[in-house]
Structure 1
Amino acid sequence: MAYWHKKKGQVVADDVWPSSLPPETYRQPVVLVCGDMSAHLFTDSPVRQVSEGLYLPVSDEEQLVAQVERLLTLRPAWASQFAVAYTVMPGMYRDAAVLTGQLRRFAHSMATVRRRAGVNVPWLLWSGLSGSPLPERANSPWFICTGGEVQVATSAETTMPAQWIAQSGAQERSQRLCYLLKAESLMQWLDLNVLAELNGPEAKCPPLAMTVGLVPSLPAVDNNLWQLWITARTGLTPDIADTGTDDALPFPDALLRRLPRQSGFTPLRRACVTMLGVTTVAGIAALCLSATANRQLLRQVGDDLHRFYAVPAEEFITKARHLSVLKDDAVMLDGYYREGEPLRLGLGLYPGERIRQPVLRAIRDWRPPEQKMDVTASLPVQTVRLDSMSLFDVGQARLKDGSTKVLVDALVNIRAKPGWLILVAGYTDATGDEKSNQQLSLRRAEAVRNWMLQTSDIPATCFAVQGLGESQPAATNDTPQGRAVNRRVEISLVPRSDACQDVK
């Protein structure tokens, strides 16, 4: 029932202290006190504010996280000022398992508090020695252990234990020595039973410092852990002091000066850092995407230019196809130039004129090759047809004596000139053997050519002969008149670019 009343009173205090908080501009340490002594510390006021810092009560370790979250809501800028004081009174426990469970809950709560606050919130292990206080209670000492070294702190100074004892008179010196021995014994018990659990592999929650103070009396139970530990070491059983006290217990104000000043992440700062981180990641991702898109554009346009220049100008059709691709690229790049590049190519990475100008220059400088027209191919073929009967006897390939006049007239009409071939072709009628007719027509064409070579200065490179026999009749071979027409020699000027190049 007494414990229930204690919890009830503490919950009421937890509900009252939010209205007693200093303003958010307060910059001293804010210590949340929980554990065995918290019910006896805040008897006069729900909060305690001194020049060194601010103390706030927390009913137990299970409420620690809730109170921190409440503080972060009311005073978010205080996150880096938080500290926790955990009070342990060995005289209040009979069962070590109960103490161990309470310590584990505290370690779990501390880990959660540090995550919620965003900083490594320090904590202090705080215990008390029950017995008569020193005469100068206002300057009551605190025995502080940090890093294995014990010091004595008062409101005036912090000294080593030997110096603190030497500063007093003979009678008080023995009393101080007694307190020091008790404090060291209690620290040993705390080290073995509390710190061993909190420093274990599961908790890993060491305190910033361990402190023991002098109090007039503390609640205690019979056969408590402190009595059992002293009995096991000395064989003596210490008496149980008064089970309660109406006086407010002292606070270790001197210990507040040892708390580190942290800049830590307040919720506002954490939000700003998170926003900055998200913005940075998004910016880097956007830059990477833009760089990839610009690299693809450079590769595409560069490949189009390379393929265009690689095609010879003579391959007009292929060249025109690649030119069409370049024109499409130019239209796209001109659009980016006039209206601005798309966002995926932006962020200062768009190559711009570095790729646009080479494309425009390639289109502007290219001229299709002029097609050479063969003028001679468009001129009509000049042909002189000679009657074979006026030149040759029947079945003969030797010119007759009276054929000169006919040949001279033909030679007058045939003028050798570069790019023209004098083609002499012989023909026969269909009378007789086809092979014989072909050979006869060839010999007659050669006879005419030879005569023209002998009687003119036309070079031999201007002539060509053909014996076509009966293959190309000019008339029917069914009548004597038609067969007479088919027996002929034709002298033609045929255009040919490489013929008769020796004629001037």
Structure 2
Amino acid sequence: MQRLGYPARTIVVFAALLALAVNGLVQPFGKEWLWLSTVAILIVAAALVGWRTRRLSHARRQSAPILQALGAATVDIPLSLRARMPLVLVTGDALASLFDHGAGATRLVYIGDGAIWLRVDRPQDLPQVALAMRQWRDGQPPDGVVLSVAPALHADADALVQRLRVTRQALADAARIVGARLPGYVAVYQRLTPLAPRDADLARQWHSVSASAPLIDAQRIEAVIRNAENDPRPDPDARYAAVHAAALASIVGWTQRVIFGALTDPRQPAAPWALHGAGWIDCGPASDAGKPWEQDVQRHTRIAPARVDATPAPWPLPQPLIEAMPRRVAISPRLAAFAHAIGITALAAGAAFLGAGRHNAQLLDRVHADLGRYASIAADHDDARRDALRALVADRDELDRYARTGVPLRLSFGLYHGAQLLPALNTAIASYQPPPPPPTVVTLDNMSLFDSGKANLKPGSTRTLVEAVEMIKAHPGKRILIAGHTDDSGDANSNLRLSNARAAALRTWLIEATGIPATQFAVQGYGDTRPIADNRTPEGRARNRRVEITLVPETAARAQ
């Protein structure tokens, strides 16, 4: 039965929904980036889900035979025990001889003493098989990878090294895909001597070293040789014991130089193997002087090793190597997914708080800037003050709406402080005083009131002054400014005196006609200094000859 494994697609969808919610409600990147960020989230989520779906489909197709074999071999093992039993992938040489355990045919899976051994015929398949095992074991990767090396099956050392490099790359890819470091072990199957011990079990004895951490070093390897030489069960045939010990020392040294060197050389692009153990056994295929190890022996001793026959199958699996195998803490994929969901939620909350803080800072800066702009505009610049006032009213209405209907999510999360600005906004808005209305002005034509060069009112001119009298009576309490003007004909000083005399004559008449005290009148003659038209034309000169009656409010008059 295949377990569900880690729900990666569910986590991706959950993360995408949270991101969309935060992006739409909080808008941490601002409104200008809302649509672009939304489209980016959808594209990334769809790409990840599609990639994961294709990867799982491909893995299921590739691992279907293996999973069927595992299901058949472990049908009697409880599901909880499957995850606790060590699962070891075995790849390399002579796998058929290792997995022929009495059934007459080779198998993909072998349930040994406390371990599940899984055969991987091609090293290149290690990544796919490791991924399938992680799904089958409820998210736990394989516990280790054993590389079976039978030197006698290779033509020379160079061919063996090339195969080892392929295996090294495959294990690096497998560790990357399953997201875990896979401990590596090397099991060397080599007939060491044509002699046969009287105790047949000695020929099937493993000489190994292993630990829970990478350990391949000279001192520990030498310990393997010393243990073989000091075996408490020496064979009665001393000749076999001596030859076997010498051959074991030679094969161990050759393994260090050739096999370990190829698997751990830092100059190679693939990650080095994390070698946790190695073992040697006097068991393997037929061999002669032309094989890699025998050639190495001949180079060092000038003695050609004798030909040896193959060991009948099945060959023993390297059970001693995995006895010190590091065990991982079993974590349920659903529990891991739940922890990841909590972490993603925390990230979303952090993004929401950051976005809300950013929006609140922008709101406060905007309101403070509007208040400062309004306060910096002088009262006599009413157009600019009205523009600034409209901004303050919009700010006040926005904050008031938040107080009545609730603060939007993009400003909330306990970070909203806009309510504190409402009193300052209301005070600034209430302080606005519109400017006084402009003075009322009546312009009278001199020609209708005075003869040319004269300052006495013409008879019958009172009809022209009726409008002025009605305007003055309609605005009691205002000061009356009478200003006389002329064109530029003649002497400027004479024009100034004439304009002042005409203004005074008009004031005298208005006092008599309205009964207003003389103290409310002011007289000013400007002569030709304030033309309103071009003096070079008759029409312009006629417009410039005028008397202006201006009603000024009492406050404005005092300011003047």
With structure 2 as the length reference, what TM-score do the two structures score? Answer: 0.57
1:165-184 alignment runs, 5 A limit: 165=230, 167-168=232-233, 171=236, 178-184=243-249
| Residue matched to 1:77 | 139
What is the deviation of 1:16? 2.5
Query: 1:247-279: per-residue Cα shift (whole Å, max 9, x none)?
Result: x32233232232223349886577567656655
What is the match of residue 70 of structure 2? 17
Partner residue, 1:335: 401
State the partner residue of 1:137.
Answer: 201
Question: Which blocks of at least 5 consecutive residues in structure 2 are unaligned?
Answer: 1-63, 103-108, 210-214, 442-477, 483-492, 505-520, 528-550
- Tell me how large the CA RMSD over aligned residues is: 4.8
Offset of residue 302 of structure 1: 0.8
Which residue does 2:297 correspond to in 1?
A: 230
- Runs (5+) with no aligned partner, structure 1: 1-10, 154-158, 378-418, 424-433, 446-461, 469-493
d(CA) in 2 for partners of 1:312, 1:229: 101
CA contact (8 A) 1:47 1:56 kept: yes
C-alpha distance 30-226 of structure 1, shift in aligned 2 (>3 A): same
Residue 92 (structure 2) pairs with residue 27 (structure 1) = no
Distance 1:465 1:238, change over 3 A: closer
Query: 2:151·2:189 contact (CA, 8 Å) conserved in 1?
Result: no
Q: Over residues 383-426 of structure 1, what are the superposed CA-to-partner deviations in whole Å (9 max), with x where a residue is unaligned? A: xxxxxxxxxxxxxxxxxxxxxxxxxxxxxxxxxxxx999x9xxx
Indicate the percent of aligned positions where both proteins have the same amino acid.
Answer: 21
Q: Does 1:127 align with 2:188?
A: yes
Match for residue 452 of structure 1? none
**Aligned pairs (5 A) from 1:316-331:** 318-331=384-397
Do structure 1's residue 290 and structure 2's residue 347 form an aligned pair?
Answer: no
Check whether the contact 2:235–2:241 (CA below 8 A) recurs between aligned residues: no
SS in 2 for 1:149: helix
Alignment of 1:233-272 (within 5 A): 233-246=300-313, 248-263=314-329
Question: Are 1:143 and 1:183, in contact at CA under 8 Å, matched by a contact in 2?
Answer: no
Residue 371 (structure 1) shift:
6.1
Shift of residue 165 of structure 1?
A: 0.7
Q: Which has the higher contact order (CA 8 A, sep 6+)?
A: 2
Distance 2:91 2:522 in 1: 127
> Which residue number corresponds to residue 218 of structure 2?
148
The aligned runs of 1:21-420 (5 Å cut-off) are 21=74, 22-25=77-80, 26-44=83-101, 46-51=109-114, 53-79=115-141, 81-130=142-191, 131=193, 132=196, 135=199, 137=201, 140-144=205-209, 146-150=216-220, 161=226, 165=230, 167-168=232-233, 171=236, 178-200=243-265, 201-202=267-268, 203-220=270-287, 223-246=290-313, 248-263=314-329, 279=345, 282-312=348-378, 318-363=384-429, 365-366=430-431, 368=433
Where 2:112 maps in the other structure, the secondary structure is strand
State how many pairs are aligned.
388
Going from structure 1 to structure 2, the CA distance change for 1:193 and 1:267 (only over 3 Å counts) comes to farther
Partner letter of residue 211 of structure 1? A
Displacement of 1:358 after TM fit?
A: 2.7
The offset of 1:322, in angstroms, is 2.6
* Greater alpha carbon shift after TM alignment, 265-274 vs 191-200: 265-274
C-alpha distance 173-350 of structure 1, shift in aligned 2 (>3 A):
farther
Residues 83 and 121 in structure 1, CA contact (< 8 A), matched pair in contact too: yes
Contact 1:84 1:124 in 2 (8 A): yes
TM-aligned CA distance change 1:98 to 1:165, over 3 Å: same
Whole-angstrom distance in 2 between the partners of 1:98 and 1:465: 120
Letter in 2 for 1:77: G
Take 2:150 and 2:260, find their aligned partners in 1: how far apart are those partners?
Answer: 14
Mapped partners of 2:373, 2:278: distance in 1: 84
**TM-superposed deviation, 1:20:** 1.7
Matched-pair contact (CA < 8 Å) for 1:142–1:252: no
Q: Hey, what's the Cα distance between the residues in 2 that align with 1:110 and 1:316?
A: 80
Q: Please state how far the C-alpha of 1:108 moved relative to its aligned partner.
A: 1.8
Cα distance in structure 2, aligned partners of 1:356 and 1:195: 77
User: What are the Cα deviations for residues 339-396 of structure 1, in whole angstroms up to 9, with x where unaligned?
Assistant: 2333433444333323334323433x5263896999xx9xxxxxxxxxxxxxxxxxxx
- Residue 129 of structure 2 aligns with an amino acid whose one-letter code is Q
Task: State the distance in 2 between where 1:288 and 1:86 align.
Answer: 52
Tell me, yes or no, if the aligned pair for 1:65 and 1:112 is still in contact at 8 Å: yes
Q: Secondary structure at the match of 1:249?
A: coil
Relative to structure 1, the CA distance from residue 268 to residue 172 in structure 2 (aligned partners, 3 Å threshold; closer, same or farther) is farther
Q: 1:160 to 1:373 in 2, by over 3 A?
A: same
- What TM-score, normalized to structure 1? 0.62
| Cα distance, 1:119–1:12 mapped onto 2, change above 3 Å | closer
8 Å CA contact retained: 2:264, 2:273: yes
Amino acid at match of 1:187: V
Q: For the Cα contact (< 8 Å) 1:35–1:88, is it kept in 2?
A: yes
Residue 47 of structure 1 aligns to a residue whose secondary structure is strand
